[in-house]
Chain A
């Protein structure tokens, strides 16, 4: 039987409330700076929750250079295309391709996969119909008649959940195997897991994987609040006083290829992808298993896929979304898998909020950077660890990773759980 080739990460890119680019986000995290602040996309001063970690002060031209495209895509697509573009650029993939002879270029493009995890849609896209609803006075017949004169003919295209996938392909001429995953919070992590699986199965030689989302909008905020999922102040993962999550937005992307291919073109290697696991708890839309069943099983599958034992893991980036039920069940699962002495555990949502489909991809990119820096950043909002949850090595101060390997846990609606495991490149340090 063929031995699976080693998969390496040769590029990464990210944007979120905490910064534009991996280095800027890292700087915010290690310095305990949170991006959570008053919402700016609308006046939320009267709202029961008025905070989020929004991407502010970044010009659309900085995110997507081609101004013509701005009219054809939505806010979340801007983030996704930026992150993917940054990852491709860092990897040097397209520069390398352009040195190839023409026959080899076509094969290169056909063998380059693209995997996107998308939020799947937004309420704001439907607001484009409000003027028409007003003009038609609620009468459907006149709604239909006035449609063409009132709504942008490209409305549907602007709001396709798979826009980032398509435009990465069009921009870079990548034509390989692909997917757009619309599994709510799982989008980004499953895009990465499927990208890796496609290379292992020899369906692609390399792949771009991105997760992106922009959930900060009034309807979503109000509904999450009504479901009891939002905090009015901060994400306090594993803290005694935690009272919910806070929205973020943004995107993160990586480029994956075989170690041999990266070595052949002397590409810089950031780290190695080791394994993934994904399971459902079959609990319906919002509920989770209190004992952390899904988290524990996803971790077990990812460890088996990576062919490593729990004690080889040097740090855990938990989902840690700050809700009572999710953090408690996640802590229970970590103890079940890692026993009495798990490696240092942290979570990043205090810094850049919960960006739903982008969240796991962002956590992975930042975990890889943390490994390279050999620092497990503290959870800056952690004051007093909840004595009611299984004890974990979490801290508000930095810790040292136990090894060069990180496990990233991601959870979402639908009782979904996914886990990724990555290792820093040998001898790597960006210091």
Chain B
């Protein structure tokens, strides 16, 4: 068997509701500090859910050191630019004119971004009585703005990131709802293994904390309505949980070839060791109660990383705090981890920072890298009474110092896309021979 290329995580960057960079986010998560509160970005007082997990005090020009690019950037893109810049600085390596073609980009990007003000403008000019009349767009008064249009393109974020950092190799944007960030990081791993690139900037970004985004989830009844107690609203695996809390932000990783990272003396957080990716093909919104779908994704990720359940010490769960997701995910974990399930520490960091949708999987991948580096599993806040249907070893009350040999991170999306990423401690990385051995025994 040929030796497969190993991929090192050498940089992380985050913009989240609990911190505008990776160190402050990580400190908040370890302390169990909540980023949830009343929505302040717009008047949400009429909505059934008035709480969210907003990024706070984020400078409008953060990350967009190139001013020309900033005007093409939506809020979500500015998060992406800032988190990506932090990840590259953290890794201490950048694409250069001579290396840019060996750098790739893989992002989990949110749904189409028409800003509410732009929609309001359209309404004023074309649909005052509620019915759309396209000719209103041609009227004198309608300020058609090509820049606003460019910002709304599905790959606008990708375009800004490649331009900003001079990434000239493979570039992709994926969207599988809540699994997007995980799938983007998994795609980056596969692209590197294929030898198409030597470095990848991989991550996700999203901001649906606007009237339309909030509307979509309120209509589905997916959000917690605990408007009076926002910091308690997200309580994955708790018997009284009643929905997720919508968040926003971005997370990025710098990935590079293991051997070349070693050679340049880079600090390696962890090995990005495996990817699992499946479809539940059950129902469009419902999670399969028996965990079918997530089970295959977790099994694939472990197999791909040459891991067995005995070697996994930490699971960063998708753990959205909806009734269905948490039960389905626990069923999957019990099925795959078997008798190890009582030993393996599990937490959902969504308990503190809410659900970052297309960014979630990427941010949580960065969390796994930091958990491995520091040897500590972040707390699953707000768990008082464990749902008997979620019989797993949740990291409750406070973060748990422990050596983490390997970790996995789940991201399970609307529509049934499931992603699982597997990470190894840099000192636990076996030789290629050992990987073969583990697989054949």
- A residues sitting closer than 8 Å to B (CB atoms) are 1-2, 42-44, 46-47, 72, 109-110, 114, 118-123, 125-127, 129-131, 133-135, 138, 140-148, 151-157, 159-163, 165-167, 169-170, 172-184, 186, 190, 194, 197-198, 201, 203, 218-220, 222-223, 226-227, 278-286, 294, 297, 301, 412-416
Complex CA distance for A321 and B170, rounded to whole angstroms: 22
Nearest CB of A to B52, in Å:
13
A412 CB contacts on chain B under 8 angstroms: 155
**B168: interface (CB < 8 Å):** yes
Interface string of B155-172 (1 = CB under 8 A from A): 110111011011111111
A183 CB contacts on chain B under 8 angstroms: 154-155, 158, 171-173
A129/B119 in contact, CB under 8 A:
yes
* CB-based nearest A residue for B47: A144
Given A159-B111, A284-B160; A173-B281 close (CB under 8 Å): yes
7 contacting pairs across A/B (C-beta < 8 A): A43-B134, A126-B119, A133-B130, A157-B220, A177-B300, A219-B149, A284-B159
B279/A181 in contact, CB under 8 A:
no
Query: Chain A interface: which of B120-128, B228-236, B389-397?
Result: B120-128
Nearest CB of A to B426, in Å:
24
A138/B155 in contact, CB under 8 A:
no
Complex CA distance for A280 and B171, rounded to whole angstroms: 6
Selected contact of B155 from candidates A46, A127, A129, A414, CB within 8 Å:
A414
B46 CB contacts on chain A under 8 angstroms: 140-147
Nearest CB of B to A152, in Å:
7
A166/B284 in contact, CB under 8 A:
yes
Complex CA distance for A44 and B158, rounded to whole angstroms: 32
B169 CB contacts on chain A under 8 angstroms: 279-280
A176 CB contacts on chain B under 8 angstroms: 278-279
* CB-based nearest A residue for B123: A133
Q: How many residues of B contact A (CB 8 A)?
A: 90
Nearest CB of A to B388, in Å:
28
Query: Chain A interface: which of B81-89, B256-264, B401-409, B414-422?
Result: B414-422
Q: Considering residues B138, B153, B187, B278, which has the most beta carbons from chain A within 10 angstroms of its beta carbon?
A: B153
**B6: interface (CB < 8 Å):** no
B221 CB contacts on chain A under 8 angstroms: 153
A121/B154 in contact, CB under 8 A:
yes
B415/A160 in contact, CB under 8 A:
yes
B154/A119 in contact, CB under 8 A:
yes
B414/A283 in contact, CB under 8 A:
no
A110 CB contacts on chain B under 8 angstroms: 278, 296
Selected contact of A163 from candidates B130, B154, B415, CB within 8 Å:
B415
**B437: interface (CB < 8 Å):** no
B177 CB contacts on chain A under 8 angstroms: 160, 162
Query: Chain A interface: which of B10-18, B208-216, B338-346, B376-384?
Result: B208-216
Interface string of B119-151 (1 = CB under 8 A from A): 110110001111110110110000010100110
A286/B150 in contact, CB under 8 A:
yes
**B105: interface (CB < 8 Å):** yes
* CB-based nearest B residue for A287: B163
* CB-based nearest B residue for A224: B149
Complex CA distance for A328 and B230, rounded to whole angstroms: 57
* CB-based nearest B residue for A131: B130
Selected contact of A156 from candidates B119, B154, B172, B220, CB within 8 Å:
B220
**B337: interface (CB < 8 Å):** no
**B176: interface (CB < 8 Å):** yes
A178/B176 in contact, CB under 8 A:
yes
Complex CA distance for A220 and B165, rounded to whole angstroms: 28
Nearest CB of B to A357, in Å:
8
A130/B132 in contact, CB under 8 A:
yes
Complex CA distance for A316 and B135, rounded to whole angstroms: 40
Additional 13 contacts, C-beta under 8 A, given A120-B154, A177-B277, A184-B155: A121-B154, A127-B132, A147-B47, A155-B215, A157-B414, A161-B112, A162-B415, A179-B174, A183-B158, A184-B154, A186-B155, A226-B144, A413-B153
**B48: interface (CB < 8 Å):** yes
B162 CB contacts on chain A under 8 angstroms: 280-282, 414-415
A284 CB contacts on chain B under 8 angstroms: 69, 72, 159-160, 163
Nearest CB of A to B316, in Å:
21
Interface string of B193-215 (1 = CB under 8 A from A): 11010000000000000011001
B176 CB contacts on chain A under 8 angstroms: 162, 165, 178-180
A44/B114 in contact, CB under 8 A:
no
A120/B163 in contact, CB under 8 A:
no
Given A147-B219, A170-B416, A280-B167; A72-B284 close (CB under 8 Å): yes
Nearest CB of B to A86, in Å:
19
* CB-based nearest A residue for B42: A140
Nearest CB of B to A117, in Å:
10
Selected contact of A143 from candidates B129, B174, B211, CB within 8 Å:
B211
A135/B130 in contact, CB under 8 A:
yes
B120 CB contacts on chain A under 8 angstroms: 133, 138
Complex CA distance for A138 and B111, rounded to whole angstroms: 24
Complex CA distance for A270 and B434, rounded to whole angstroms: 42
Given A120-B175, A280-B169; A151-B215 close (CB under 8 Å): yes
* CB-based nearest A residue for B165: A282
**B91: interface (CB < 8 Å):** no
Selected contact of A114 from candidates B122, B279, B293, CB within 8 Å:
B279
Given A118-B175, A162-B176; A415-B163 close (CB under 8 Å): yes
Interface string of B68-108 (1 = CB under 8 A from A): 01001000000000000000000000000000110001000
**B58: interface (CB < 8 Å):** no
A135 CB contacts on chain B under 8 angstroms: 130
Complex CA distance for A412 and B158, rounded to whole angstroms: 12
A285/B134 in contact, CB under 8 A:
no
B159/A285 in contact, CB under 8 A:
yes
Interface residues of B in 172-189 (CB under 8 A from A): 172-177, 183, 187
B279/A174 in contact, CB under 8 A:
yes
* CB-based nearest B residue for A45: B135
Nearest CB of B to A70, in Å:
14
**B285: interface (CB < 8 Å):** yes
A157 CB contacts on chain B under 8 angstroms: 220, 284-285, 414
Complex CA distance for A284 and B300, rounded to whole angstroms: 36
Nearest CB of A to B41, in Å:
11
**B2: interface (CB < 8 Å):** yes
A122/B171 in contact, CB under 8 A:
no
Selected contact of B170 from candidates A180, A279, A286, A413, CB within 8 Å:
A279
A282/B153 in contact, CB under 8 A:
no
B168/A175 in contact, CB under 8 A:
no
A47/B154 in contact, CB under 8 A:
no
* CB-based nearest B residue for A166: B415
B134 CB contacts on chain A under 8 angstroms: 42-44, 47, 218
**B280: interface (CB < 8 Å):** yes
Given A121-B111, A222-B144; A282-B168 close (CB under 8 Å): yes
**B190: interface (CB < 8 Å):** yes
A2/B2 in contact, CB under 8 A:
yes
B279/A133 in contact, CB under 8 A:
no
B173/A181 in contact, CB under 8 A:
yes
**B40: interface (CB < 8 Å):** no
Nearest CB of A to B81, in Å:
13
Complex CA distance for A157 and B183, rounded to whole angstroms: 20
Given A120-B112, A133-B127, A285-B156; A278-B279 close (CB under 8 Å): no
